[in-house]
């Protein structure tokens, strides 16, 4: 596995150029090459959603994508969400609504919700639940997450 | 990590720990449920790979002999030198420069197996045609019996006897973070440091010490942030032994991170068992006697530290605990099978106990023409029954079980639901209502069940609390920090909490069985109070108190507020908190602490084990709409009222209640590990082992009652598993009610419900 491919992409707004093994997953590239360990791996077969990042604004499972497939793309990870000391409003809402416990699924939930909120207008709570259904949380029972997303989406009930 | 750090993605889970100098380990796992390992050879194209087998380990590490009451002791080889005992059982490990290469190499290791007959069911284990452990010819890992013959007479003379056999599926906790280990060995210090995703750092150190044959002090176990555990990470695993051993042998730091397939295949399973439960009633529905026989499928091993009795023992000891009865006779067996070892998963044993008891009560109510709520009201313990000891020896301090039930029924509008049910039935719809009421054993005092807390005020006034517990996402630090700050009268921000490091924290049990609020909380209170009194005594000396400085006197005459320690009756007279701290460390020029009265320093370590387990209690009402054609059901209402004594932190309690209930929805409706007859696991991915998503978890309504514990110093009772143990039962009762059927097996799959519906409609 000595063959390597040149990779250029944007990660959280910064240009990144690296040579990578063709079989390196995007998740491992972010976590190991770039030390962006906020993207977590819960199943490595595309079910749990913990590794979700935004690729050109679209929520994608980084365990199912090779790093090389992200050539020329713009990636946003959990580390790109807060602006310095200021949490993103969705992060703040999740904290206030008891929407996390162990924090392992949280980055994937946030990135999933970011894409949803970008595209949804006046969603119902059922639609919020559906949007979250690709991210597994074993701690919270999802209630605080639904409340937080509803708050940001301006949903009353 | 704080919640804010976690939400920024700044958590430090095991996979995130710096590993630039680490080599990686991958495990070669048996594809056979039971086989003789004839040979293990390195890959053809990598003959020099670092490869370690069970045989290599056998001469170098000790087998573990797990001991606890009722366990049949045998030699547990963490990696067996000659045999593989379940699919996924590690038979060798390889070391490589990165995880990709390690996995390639593990795949290419050449193992020759001679398959042996596999034991894959309780029936086969009891039939003992095949023996799994040479020392245990009957495949019995655990045996317990109590009050044999004690109920015969009462069952013979009862007005009504109801008896059924219930089956509970094999399940596993699926923490979203899998396991992982990073091990280093320092040859100069001759010390191991083992970072591992665990709930029980001190137990682990103890087990490692026995296996590696080195003193406990030569091992430091550190638990990084843990991404959920739910019981799965409360035991010692082979990988936690192999990595430190190999780190010493190879001179390299080593890392291994479990993948999900390994986690489902070869971590630990839980819950599987059968229970034959009988109850004898008077004609008015009063419960008189209980008899039960539980058989648990413990898998291949009795794992350290709790052993193979965990589920079946916990099941039988807690049957009908919340209900009055005079006598019970129980029997529990844990059988070895060629499956992954069974250990803990939230709701240990009680998931089966509550399911069986509550369904049996509904069956009895039907026989007697009583409403399900009424048969519970007639039998639930009443306030004047407390303190109460059950026929199996469980002691309860306080409780208001009747009120908990009343609150749940009222909040769910039980009578309204029954009226809706009639309307629905008139329209050909099946609305079912379920009611359950039970208690939860917490703060378990077995094995050995103590906790340790060290609280320290540093010379600069910063405060640290070192705890034997180990959070896996429950938010311990927030609550501990607040409890210490309240006791010492300082702002919360001054207090830092350290957990999960055996070099820094006092030994203790760790975190499992909903014990933290009660046992750790109790010990923490003791240590904080001692430290507070010491501070007060130093302040009293600075304020020139005359006479004896008893605890009671300083507590009475002094208060801590707004950064000062002052006279209770004259707040203007006092000394600065920080000056008192400096005086305690002999750093003040104008005051010399008389050390014959108060010893210098501000650090207190206390250990305590509660005199008895502590029981919280819960009542749940569920309403479900069942589609008899498809077997699908929707949860219309789910109301859960719990009484965990004094609530230390409302947000944490709500989080545990709702999160535990969501897990209960999984246990009751989706989660099932399926093996085929050859012992192959058919559910080794999250596409096959299903856990609830946001679509399956409805809004859960939670209510609270606070009946203080008289056993714990903080008046709290543990909680955190009641949702998981009660939801499968209440959903089973609701579905059974909708179909006028009996539910004796879980999970409530659509297939099972459709089958029940067909049976019910043909009646």
Query: pTM for this structure?
Result: 0.97
The first and second tokens of residue B31, run together, are 């594809």
User: In the prediction, which pLDDT does A39 show?
Assistant: 98
Alpha carbon of B40: minimum distance to chain A alpha carbons (Å):
25
Report the sign of the C-alpha dihedral through residues B466, B471, B477, B479, in that order: negative
Substitution target from A35, A143, A146, A150 for chain B, most B beta carbons within 10 A = A143
**Candidate from A94, A104, A129 with C-beta closest to B176:** A104
Alpha carbon of B9: minimum distance to chain A alpha carbons (Å):
4
At residue B761 the predicted structure's pLDDT band, cuts being 50, 70 and 90, is low
| B623-676 tens-digit pLDDT | 999 999 999 999 999 999 999 999 999 999 999 999 999 999 999 999 999 999
| B28-71 tens-digit pLDDT | 999 999 999 999 999 999 999 999 999 999 989 999 999 988 99
ipTM of the complex as predicted? 0.97
Q: Is A93 left (phi over 0), alpha (psi -120 to 50) or beta?
A: alpha
Substitution target from A24, A42, A138 for chain B, most B beta carbons within 10 A = A138
Rounded Cα distance between B513 and B500, Å, is: 17
Q: Cβ of B9 and A39 within 8 Å?
A: yes
**Candidate from B7, B173, B174 with C-beta closest to A91:** B7
Alpha carbon of A155: minimum distance to chain B alpha carbons (Å):
16
Q: Cβ of B697 and A78 within 8 Å?
A: no
Q: How many CB atoms lie within 10 A of CB B762?
A: 6
Q: Cβ of A87 and B7 within 8 Å?
A: yes
Alpha carbon of B483: minimum distance to chain A alpha carbons (Å):
19
For residue A157, pLDDT over 90 is answered with no
3-state secondary structure of B214: coil
Q: Which residue does chain A place closest to B472, by CA atoms?
A: A102
The first and second tokens of residue B736, run together, are 């059974």
For residue B485, pLDDT over 90 is answered with yes
3-state secondary structure of B198: coil
Closest CA to B542 of B570, B571, B579, B578: B579
Range of weakest confidence among B59-73, B370-384, B618-632, B718-732 = B59-73
Cβ(A34)–Cβ(B672) below 8 Å: no
What string of DSSP letters covers B297-337? E-TT---TTT-TTHHHHHHHHTTTTTB--SEEEEEEEEE--
**Candidate from B13, B173, B651 with C-beta closest to A104:** B13
B687 exposure class (CB count in 10 Å sphere: 0-12, 13-18, 19+): exposed
Q: Which residue does chain A place closest to B101, by CA atoms?
A: A1
Rounded Cα distance between A147 and A126, Å, is: 11
User: In the prediction, which pLDDT does B763 show?
Assistant: 44
Which residues on neighbouring strands pair with residue B329, listed in sequence order?
B291
Helix axes B401-412, B414-426, angle to 10 degrees: 50
HSE-CB for B507 with a 13 A CA cutoff:
10
Cβ(B437)–Cβ(B443) below 8 Å: no
Q: How many CB atoms lie within 10 A of CB B678?
A: 14
Q: Which residue does chain A place closest to B99, by CA atoms?
A: A28
What string of DSSP letters covers B39-54? EEE--TT-TTSEEEEH
User: In the prediction, which pLDDT does A156 show?
Assistant: 65
**Candidate from B10, B260, B659 with C-beta closest to A45:** B260
Residue B486 phi/psi, 5-degree rounding, is: -65, -45
Residue pairs spanning A and B at CB distance below 8 A = 163
Q: Cβ of A103 and B174 within 8 Å?
A: no
Q: Which residue does chain B place closest to A128, by CA atoms?
A: B694
Strands B180-186 and B191-196: antiparallel
Which residues on neighbouring strands pair with residue B36, listed in sequence order?
B83, B114
Q: Which residues in chain B are contacts of A90 at CB distance < 8 A?
A: none
Q: Cβ of B176 and A82 within 8 Å?
A: no
- Report in angstroms the alpha-carbon separations of A108 from A60, A156, B7: 10, 25, 10
Q: Cβ of B227 and A103 within 8 Å?
A: yes
What string of DSSP letters covers B566-581? EESS-TTSEEEHHHHH
| B380-428 tens-digit pLDDT | 999 999 999 999 999 999 999 999 999 999 999 999 999 999 999 999 9
Q: Which residue does chain B place closest to A110, by CA atoms?
A: B7
**Candidate from A45, A104, A144 with C-beta closest to B228:** A104
DSSP-assigned letter for residue B707 = -
- Report in angstroms the alpha-carbon separations of B671 from B179, B326, B510, B636, B689: 20, 36, 27, 21, 6
Q: Which residue does chain A place closest to B262, by CA atoms?
A: A43
Rounded Cα distance between B742 and B89, Å, is: 38
Closest CA to B356 of B742, B754, B749: B742
For residue B762, pLDDT over 60 is answered with no
């Amino acid at each position: 596995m000595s063959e390597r491919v040149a990779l250029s992409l944007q990660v959280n707004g910064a240009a990144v150029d690296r040579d990578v093994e063709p079989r390196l997953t995007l998740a491992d590239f972010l976590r190991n090459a770039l030390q962006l360990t906020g993207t977590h791996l819960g199943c490595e077969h595309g079910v749990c959603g913990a590794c979700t990042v935004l690729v050109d604004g679209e929520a994608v499972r980084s365990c199912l994508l090779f790093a090389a497939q992200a050539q020329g793309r713009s990636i946003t990870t959990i580390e790109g969400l807060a602006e310095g000391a200021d949490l993103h409003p969705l992060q703040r809402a999740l904290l206030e609504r008891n929407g996390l416990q162990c924090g392992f699924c949280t980055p994937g939930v946030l990135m999933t919700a970011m894409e949803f909120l970008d595209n949804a207008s006046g969603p119902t709570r059922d639609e919020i639940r559906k949007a979250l259904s690709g991210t597994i949380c074993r701690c919270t029972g999802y209630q605080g997450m639904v409340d937080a997303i509803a708050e940001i989406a301006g949903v009353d009930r | 990590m704080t919640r804010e750090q976690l939400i920024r993605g700044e958590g430090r889970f095991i996979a995130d720990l710096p590993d630039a100098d680490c080599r990686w380990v991958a495990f070669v796992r048996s594809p056979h449920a039971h086989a003789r390992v004839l040979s293990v050879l390195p890959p053809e194209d990598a003959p020099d790979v670092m490869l370690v087998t069970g045989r290599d380990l056998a001469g170098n590490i000790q087998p573990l002999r797990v001991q606890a009451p009722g366990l049949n002791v045998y030699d547990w080889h963490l990696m067996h030198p000659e045999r593989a005992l379940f699919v996924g059982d590690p038979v060798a490990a390889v070391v490589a420069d990165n995880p990709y290469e390690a996995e390639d190499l593990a795949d290419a290791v050449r193992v020759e197996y001679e398959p042996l007959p596999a034991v894959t069911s309780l029936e086969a284990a009891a039939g003992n045609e095949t023996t799994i452990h040479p020392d245990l010819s009957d495949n019995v890992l655990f045996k317990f019996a109590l009050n044999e013959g004690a109920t015969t007479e009462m069952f013979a003379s009862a007005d009504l006897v109801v008896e059924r056999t219930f089956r509970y599926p094999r399940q596993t906790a699926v923490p979203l973070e899998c396991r992982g280990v990073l091990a280093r060995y320092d040859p100069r210090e001759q010390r191991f440091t083992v970072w591992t995703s665990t709930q029980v750092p001190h137990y682990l150190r103890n087990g490692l010490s026995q296996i590696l044959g080195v003193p406990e002090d030569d091992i430091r176990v550190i638990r990084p942030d843990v991404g959920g555990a739910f019981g799965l990470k409360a035991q010692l695993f082979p990988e936690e032994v192999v990595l430190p051993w190999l780190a010493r042998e190879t001179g390299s730091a080593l890392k291994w991170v479990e993948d999900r397939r390994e986690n489902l295949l070869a971590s630990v399973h839980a819950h599987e068992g059968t229970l034959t439960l009988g109850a004898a009633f008077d004609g008015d529905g009063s419960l008189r006697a209980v008899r039960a026989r539980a058989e648990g499928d413990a898998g291949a091993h009795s794992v350290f530290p709790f052993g193979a009795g965990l589920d079946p023992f916990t099941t039988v000891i807690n049957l009908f605990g919340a209900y009055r009865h005079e006598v019970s006779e129980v029997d529990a067996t844990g059988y070895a099978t060629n499956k992954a070892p069974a250990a803990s998963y939230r709701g240990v044993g009680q998931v089966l106990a509550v399911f069986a008891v509550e369904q049996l009560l509904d069956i009895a109510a039907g026989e007697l023409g009583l409403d399900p709520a009424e048969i519970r009201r007639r039998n639930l313990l009443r306030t004047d029954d407390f303190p109460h000891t059950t026929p199996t020896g469980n002691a309860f301090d306080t409780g208001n079980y009747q009120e908990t039930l009343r609150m749940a029924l009222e909040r769910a509008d039980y009578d309204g639901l029954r009226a809706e049910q009639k309307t629905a039935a008139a329209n050909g719809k099946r609305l079912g209502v379920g009611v359950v009421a039970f208690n939860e054993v917490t703060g378990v005092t077995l094995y050995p069940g103590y906790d340790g807390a060290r609280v320290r005020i540093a010379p600069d006034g910063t405060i640290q609390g070192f705890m034997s517990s180990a959070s896996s996402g429950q938010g311990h630090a927030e609550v501990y920090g607040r409890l210490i700050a309240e006791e010492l009268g300082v702002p919360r921000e001054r207090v830092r909490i350290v957990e999960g490091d055996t070099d820094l924290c006092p030994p203790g049990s760790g975190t499992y069985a909903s014990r933290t609020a009660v046992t750790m909380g109790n010990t923490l209170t003791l240590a904080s109070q001692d430290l507070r009194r010491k501070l007060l005594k130093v302040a009293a000396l600075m304020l020139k108190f005359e006479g004896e400085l008893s605890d009671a006197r300083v507590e009475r005459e002094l208060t801590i507020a707004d950064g000062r320690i002052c006279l209770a009756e004259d707040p203007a007279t006092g000394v600065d908190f920080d000056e008192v701290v400096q005086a305690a460390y002999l750093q003040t020029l104008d005051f010399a602490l008389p050390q014959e009265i108060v010893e210098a320093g501000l650090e207190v370590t206390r250990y305590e084990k509660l005199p008895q387990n502590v029981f919280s209690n819960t009542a749940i009402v569920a309403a479900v709409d069942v589609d008899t054609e498809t077997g699908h059901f929707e949860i219309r209402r789910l109301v859960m009222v719990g009484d965990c004594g004094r609530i230390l932190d409302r947000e944490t309690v709500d989080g545990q209640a709702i999160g535990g209930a969501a897990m209960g929805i999984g246990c009751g409706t989706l989660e099932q590990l399926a093996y085929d007859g050859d012992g192959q696991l058919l559910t080794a991915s999250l596409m096959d082992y299903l856990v609830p998503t946001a679509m399956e978890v409805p809004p859960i309504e939670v209510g609270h009652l606070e009946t203080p514990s008289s056993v714990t110093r903080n008046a709290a009772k543990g909680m955190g598993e009641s949702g998981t143990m009660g939801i499968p039962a209440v959903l089973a009762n609701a579905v059974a009610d909708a179909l006028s059927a009996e539910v004796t097996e879980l999970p409530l799959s659509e297939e099972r419900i459709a089958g029940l519906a067909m049976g019910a409609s043909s009646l």
